[in-house]
Amino acid sequence: MSVLVYIEHSKGHFKKTAFEAVTYASKIAQQMGTECIALVLGASDHLSDLGNYGANKILNCSASIFSNFDSQVYSNSIAKVANDNGANLIILANSSNGKTLAGRLSVKLKAGSISGANKLPTISGNSMIVSKSVFSGKGVANYEIKSAIKIISLMGNSIKPEQVANNATVESIVIPTATPKITVKSVKTEEGTVPLPEAELVVSAGRGMKGPENWGIIEDLASAMGATTACSRPVADAHWRPHHEHVGQTGVAIRPNLYIAIGISGAIQHLAGVNNSKTIVVINKDPEAPFFKAADYGVCGDLFEIVPRLTQAIKDFKQSH
């Protein structure tokens, strides 16, 4: 028996989602009275860091084939490690690659799989109840996984990474792999900013901004806070902002600690992607804007006056703390 957590990295560096996954896996492993094994595919100089979050054993295959994401090669490798280590639970991040692997692994290992879990499962005997948000945040579905092997993909920002005493062993392993059928040609990611799905603080703006030339005040607020910027769909459709900033039903779904919505009306399709945020602040000049109903804090007035004032207040706060 063991809990296997598959760890994503970017050129050997772990992101917060990796530490969240280890914390989550290690808490379940403790509850099940078994060990938590972290698996890293591809080279990394930071392997032992995973022990800080509760991994008992860290397995690493540093073969260069893993610099090319092919879900067949990856899932075959993870399945082999799962079998070799008697894993009865596999945890992955609910990311583009994580969900892809979860689906393949579930068929390969005849394992019931739930993606997008947002809290620790309830375990009773061999069965496990896993919860996720469904119907655009209008319901919660609690699934029972009945199979002997189970798979859970963990939604970002669902658990806080928790540091523990590190007593992990690091072991390098060799995994036989077949030739990939997918050849990755290039990977482009925004440098220097936290990607939206991982961001804890998000400053988002909509059509109330009137035009792309006005985004300076949004960027100032975001940089004062250390937040990532997002936008509503019409804003991305009009190319005022890049497509990867679009949040909502047809864009990215996020659950940051803080979501500040500026000049966004709060249409249900927008809320669908953001209403799991822990705290929502809405700045809108229309007191009837639907977004106020989904907000924790509201400021009613002209964003062009309020946003610079808020930026200043944040700067003052940062100086005194």
Partner 1 sequence: MNFLVCISKTPDTTAKISFSSDLKTFNSAGVQYILNPYDEWYALVKAIELKEQLGGNVTICNVGPLDNEQIIRKGLAIGADDAVRIDCEPLSSMQVAFQIAQYAKSKSFDMILLGKETIDYNGSEVGAMLAEYLDLPFVSYGSKLDMNGNVATIERDIEGGTEVLEVATPFVVSAAKGMAEQRIPNMRGIMMAKSKALEVVAPAPFEDLAVVDHYDLPKEKSSVKMIDPENMQELVRLLHEEAKAI
Ligand X SMILES: Cc1cc2nc3c(=O)[nH]c(=O)nc-3n(C[C@H](O)[C@H](O)[C@H](O)COP(=O)(O)OP(=O)(O)OC[C@H]3O[C@@H](n4cnc5c(N)ncnc54)[C@H](O)[C@@H]3O)c2cc1C
Binds partner 1 (CB under 8 A): choice among 23, 26, 77, 115 = 115
- Verify binding: residue 250, ligand X, rule CB under 6 A: yes
- Verify binding: residue 195, ligand X, rule CB under 6 A: no
Write down the least CB distance from residue 202 to ligand X, Å.
13
- Verify binding: residue 273, ligand X, rule CB under 6 A: yes
Which residue(s) pair with 48 in the sheet?
none
Overall residue count recorded for the chain in this entry: 321
- Verify binding: residue 1, partner 1, rule CB under 8 A: no
Binds 136: which of ligand X, partner 1, none (CB < 5-8 Å by kind): partner 1
Which residue(s) pair with 115 in the sheet?
153
Write down the least CB distance from residue 184 to ligand X, Å.
28
* Tokens read off for 27: 């808490």
Task: Let me know: does 53 contact 164? Beta carbons within 8 Å.
Answer: yes
Going by C-alpha positions, the residue among 75, 16, 17 that lies closest to residue 41 is 75
Going by C-alpha positions, the residue among 225, 265, 222 that lies closest to residue 245 is 222
Residues 206-235 that bind partner 1 (CB under 8 A): 225
Spatial distance between the Cα atoms of 198 and 202, rounded to a whole number of angstroms: 10
Site map (CB under 6 A) of ligand X, residues 291-310, x = contact: -----------xxx------
Beta carbon nearer to ligand X, 86 or 212: 212
Write down the least CB distance from residue 66 to partner 1, Å.
14
Binds partner 1 (CB under 8 A): choice among 84, 144, 171, 286 = 144
Please count the other Cβ atoms lying within 10 Å of the Cβ belonging to residue 316.
11
Which residue(s) pair with 3 in the sheet?
36, 89
Binds 42: which of ligand X, partner 1, none (CB < 5-8 Å by kind): none
The number of C-alpha atoms within 13 Å of 23 and in the hemisphere containing its C-beta is 17
Q: Which residues bind ligand X (CB under 6 A)?
A: 206-208, 232-235, 248-251, 263-265, 267, 269-270, 273, 284-286, 289, 302-304
